[in-house]
A and B are shown apart, each in its own frame.
Chain A
Amino acid sequence: MLELENLNAGYGPSQVLFNLSMTVQEREIVSIIGRNGVGKTSTLKAILGLIHVVSGTIRFGSREISRLPTYKRGRLGIAYVPDDRGIFVNITTAENLRIPLIGHKMKEKDHLDLVLSLFPILEERWNQKAGTLSGGEQQMLTIARGLVVRPKLLILDEISEGLAPEVIMNCCDAFRKLKFETTILLAEQDVRVALEVSDRVYVMLNGAVAFHGTVSQVREEKAVEKYIHI
């Protein structure tokens, strides 16, 4: 479904991704793990078109998307949940969830019911300004906002950052439920969370993939110990 091939990308003159190749199959949960600064978020940003791709291809479905502007990638069905949340704080929860739906043909209620069944707490905050929600609720709202349009691919960045363990477990449950709906690509610092929810894992080191395989392979090969806890 998503295929990155020999991707070289960076911010201006400094390159951060080196010959990166990665694939994500349909209905799969894939995690990218690695230490700080190895290029996890940059990989996601390259997929979304937020950093400059020097060479290499990004294919989504059958389309080559590495030259498309961000909003067109969004329209193809890629949703992004950024690590800094970035909800619209001065409008209500309801409006936050409705903005992505404007212009979509499906009935609003069906869309909202799905995300509200995953995150029932949002219902109680329905008419509250999103800025007054707690950190965990804001995170849920961000995920919900990404999900509400039923994206083909959901890209999540550091969902565990700053969340209580219980909330993280909730999110993990939600992802397992979502597996039948959508494909998930997750960049995660917390190795336990990543191994808990994923089917396959990519371990990154210095802007390139150092190891990839299923969760059990990662455990067998002690990839985490090799590439992360050095």
Chain B
Amino acid sequence: MSGQDFGIERHRDVEETILKKQSKLQFGAGYAILAFIFLVLPFLTTYDVLVEDIIVWSLFTIGFNLAFGFTGMVSLGHGVFFGVSAFTAGILSLFWNRSVVTLPIGIALGTLTGAVVGYVSLKRARVDVHKALRIAYLVLISIAASYVTMYIFLNPLAKYSGAEMGLLGFPDHPLHVVGNLQVNLKSHHQTYAIVGVVALLTIAWLRRIASSPAGMIMRAIRENEVRVGFLGYNTFRFKLLVYTISGFVASIAGSLYLLRSGFISVDVFDFSFTSELVVICLLGGRNSFFGPMVGTAIFLILKDVISSYTSSWALFLAVVLILSVLYLPGGIGPMLFSAPKVLIRVWRRNRFLAGEVPPSK
């Protein structure tokens, strides 16, 4: 009886405290670990290239997952935004102005491409269209976009983009910042410092979006878009916004990729490039924010290790993917993140069974 009366406040109180505790803990520990990985780790290990690859790709996949995992929009066009941004920045800095201004211009153009592709494909896929068709529209139009941009960069722009050869010569000269300040593109440390800081800030920003009420609406749209419309939300505008943000992040990743590796080729426009992102998100866990980062790490490490023995590394990766889909449908990431909690629980229970401490509530 008293439990029933009492239940109402109690349940909600419990929820509030859990949320608070979690967010504080996550905020402290999570960001410390993240900052360490992004800013310190590459300078400590001899596998610095691999670690940095993982970081740039994590940014890309986490941004992609905002559209794919959180909102349920399957798009194969993110390589386009990645490539447009990288090519624009690279071409402008080679043929127009060797300064860092070209990077934001590239990002802006990539984002704009994202907004246009998103608008065209989402506009047709209004809620009265069947869900499977809505997804198909987005997939097909994004594939179309990937071919359009690929041939634009292959043919009319061949003089600038280097066509099949890819963009060459980008790192030969330093990039101007202000006055005499320059970024030496051949200096690994200088370029990485920019990459690490920008990637970390962007991911923190995305995390904020994902854990805000907007993140809740994203997941609700994934579950049932029509109902979200009943609740008074313009789901078209919302989806377009998420898609554009995700294209923006892809563009940032593109520019950072160019800055770091100094090279970009038209291969990124191929939609099979973006389909790797889908694999990574599924592998790492598409419902969890940092899942794709775990997926990226596994993907790139496996690729790195196995490809030194055999060229058919994709075969092994496929086996890992199949196993993870069969036995860990939520992805590997969430399991990894909950491991500390489970271990602590087991340790507490064992201590209790050994009679060392009274049971904690």
Interface residues in chain A, defined as those with a beta carbon under 8 Å from any beta carbon in chain B: 48, 50, 69-72, 74-75, 79-80, 82, 86-91, 94-95, 98-100, 102-103, 116, 120, 123-124, 126-127, 145, 149
9 A–B pairs (Cβ distance < 8 Å), ordered by A: A50-B128, A70-B229, A74-B231, A86-B227, A91-B220, A91-B223, A99-B216, A99-B217, A149-B232
List the A side residues contacting B217 at CB < 8 Å.
Answer: 99, 102
Check A88/B11 contact, CB under 8 A, given A99-B231, A102-B213: no
In the bound assembly, the distance between CA atoms of A87 and B7 in angstroms comes to 24
List the A side residues contacting B232 at CB < 8 Å.
Answer: 71-72, 74-75, 100, 149
Closest 8 pairs between A and B when the two form their complex, measured CB to CB: A74-B232, A75-B232, A102-B213, A88-B223, A126-B11, A70-B229, A100-B231, A80-B230
Given contacts A99-B217, A123-B8, 8 further A-B contacts (CB under 8 A): A70-B230, A74-B229, A86-B227, A88-B223, A90-B287, A98-B216, A120-B8, A126-B11
List the B side residues contacting A70 at CB < 8 Å.
Answer: 127, 229-230
> Which of B12, B213, B220, B229 is in CB contact (< 8 Å) with A71?
B229
B161 within 8 A of A: no
> Which of B18, B128, B220 is in CB contact (< 8 Å) with A99?
B220
Q: Is the CB of A88 within 8 A of B224?
A: yes
Q: Is the CB of A91 within 8 A of B11?
A: no
In the bound assembly, the distance between CA atoms of A149 and B232 in angstroms comes to 10
List the A side residues contacting B18 at CB < 8 Å.
Answer: 127
In the bound assembly, the distance between CA atoms of A94 and B14 in angstroms comes to 12
List the A side residues contacting B11 at CB < 8 Å.
Answer: 123-124, 126-127
In the bound assembly, the distance between CA atoms of A23 and B217 in angstroms comes to 34
What string of 1s and 0s marks CB contacts (under 8 Å) between B164-208 and chain A?
000000000000000000000000000000000000000000000
List the B side residues contacting A90 at CB < 8 Å.
Answer: 219, 223, 287
In the bound assembly, the distance between CA atoms of A50 and B15 in angstroms comes to 36
In the bound assembly, the distance between CA atoms of A71 and B11 in angstroms comes to 32
B301 within 8 A of A: no
List the B side residues contacting A99 at CB < 8 Å.
Answer: 213, 216-217, 220, 228, 231
In the bound assembly, the distance between CA atoms of A116 and B232 in angstroms comes to 22
Size bracket, chain B contacts: 20 to 34
Check A88/B231 contact, CB under 8 A, given A116-B8, A126-B12: no
Residue of A nearest to B126 (CB): A69
In the bound assembly, the distance between CA atoms of A69 and B7 in angstroms comes to 41
Distance in Å: Cβ of B6 to nearest Cβ of chain A: 11
In the bound assembly, the distance between CA atoms of A74 and B226 in angstroms comes to 12
List the A side residues contacting B128 at CB < 8 Å.
Answer: 50
Distance in Å: Cβ of A87 to nearest Cβ of chain B: 8
B233 within 8 A of A: yes
List the A side residues contacting B7 at CB < 8 Å.
Answer: 120, 123-124
Check A95/B216 contact, CB under 8 A, given A74-B229, A123-B7, A123-B8: yes
> Which of A71, A80, A120, A127 is in CB contact (< 8 Å) with B234?
A71
Distance in Å: Cβ of B127 to nearest Cβ of chain A: 7
Distance in Å: Cβ of A212 to nearest Cβ of chain B: 26
Residue of B nearest to A79 (CB): B230
B235 within 8 A of A: yes
In the bound assembly, the distance between CA atoms of A86 and B225 in angstroms comes to 10
Residue of B nearest to A90 (CB): B223
Distance in Å: Cβ of B70 to nearest Cβ of chain A: 11
In the bound assembly, the distance between CA atoms of A67 and B97 in angstroms comes to 52
Q: Is the CB of B231 within 8 A of A86?
A: no
Q: Is the CB of B216 within 8 A of A91?
A: yes
Distance in Å: Cβ of B141 to nearest Cβ of chain A: 22
Q: Is the CB of A71 within 8 A of B15?
A: no
In the bound assembly, the distance between CA atoms of A82 and B227 in angstroms comes to 9
In the bound assembly, the distance between CA atoms of A100 and B232 in angstroms comes to 8
List the B side residues contacting A126 at CB < 8 Å.
Answer: 11-12, 15
In the bound assembly, the distance between CA atoms of A80 and B224 in angstroms comes to 14
Distance in Å: Cβ of B87 to nearest Cβ of chain A: 38
Distance in Å: Cβ of A12 to nearest Cβ of chain B: 10
In the bound assembly, the distance between CA atoms of A16 and B238 in angstroms comes to 32
In the bound assembly, the distance between CA atoms of A98 and B231 in angstroms comes to 11
In the bound assembly, the distance between CA atoms of A48 and B128 in angstroms comes to 12
List the A side residues contacting B223 at CB < 8 Å.
Answer: 88-91
List the A side residues contacting B12 at CB < 8 Å.
Answer: 94, 123, 126
Residue of B nearest to A77 (CB): B232
In the bound assembly, the distance between CA atoms of A219 and B226 in angstroms comes to 38
